[in-house]
Amino acid sequence: MRPYAPLDHVSIAVADLARAGRFYDAVLAPLGIGRVKETPGAVGYGTDRPFFWLLRRRAAGAVQPGIGLHFCFGAGTRAAVDAFHRIALAEGAADNGAPGLRTEYHPHYYGAFVIDADGYKIEAVCHQPE
């Protein structure tokens, strides 16, 4: 039996599932997150089970990223955050904040921010000192 989790999973709708899948395959890999399940019209990412899903958008404009909608993935190291950002930009994401400390959150908050091709704001963060 799985342990209780306050947040079990998140799903986002994407215009092009194949394109989004290639992007998330690449940017989540340095964070130790990969594809763990595929169904027609969906791809699930996680470690042992899916917690982040991409869903094929059924109609144009059916789901749009909202102002302030933001997904943050945990990273074990600052180097993984750097790799996430570098790969995301190489895969066509827009820069929304280069890797670095964000001490306004806490002294060891090291994050990087991008916007994917569907307009979703995604981040990777490491909370470890150095």
Measure the CA–CA gap between 107 and 32, rounded to whole angstroms: 24
pLDDT confidence bin for 2, thresholds 50/70/90: low
Q: Domain for residue 22, yes or no?
A: yes
Q: Domain for residue 2, yes or no?
A: no
Q: Domain for residue 100, yes or no?
A: yes
Classify 123 as helix, strand or coil: strand
* pLDDT tens digit sequence for 71-94: 899 999 999 999 999 999 999 999
Q: Domain for residue 3, yes or no?
A: no
What's the half-sphere exposure (Cβ side, CA atoms, 13 Å) at 113?
13
Classify 105 as helix, strand or coil: coil
CATH number at 79 reads 3.10.180.10
Of 21-30, 41-50, 67-76, 91-100, minimum mean pLDDT range:
67-76
Q: Domain for residue 52, yes or no?
A: yes
Task: Compute φ and ψ for 81, nearest 5 degrees.
Answer: -60, -45
Q: Domain for residue 115, yes or no?
A: yes
Residue 17 structure tokens: 């599932």
Domains identified in the chain, total number: 1
Res. 16: pLDDT tops 80:
yes
Q: What percent of the chain has pLDDT over 70?
A: 88
Residues 39 and 11 sit within 8 Å (Cβ to Cβ): no
Q: What is the pLDDT of residue 30?
A: 97
Q: Domain for residue 45, yes or no?
A: yes
* pLDDT tens digit sequence for 48-70: 999 999 998 776 665 566 666 78
Q: What is the mean pLDDT of the chain?
A: 90
CA distances from 45 to 59, 74, 77 (A): 23, 13, 20
Measure the CA–CA gap between 49 and 19, rounded to whole angstroms: 22
Q: What is the pLDDT of residue 9?
A: 87
What DSSP string runs through 71-83? EEEE-SSHHHHHH
Q: Domain for residue 4, yes or no?
A: no
**Whole domain around residue 101: which residue ranges?**
10-59+67-126
How many CB atoms are closer than 10 A to CB 88? 26
Classify 11 as helix, strand or coil: strand
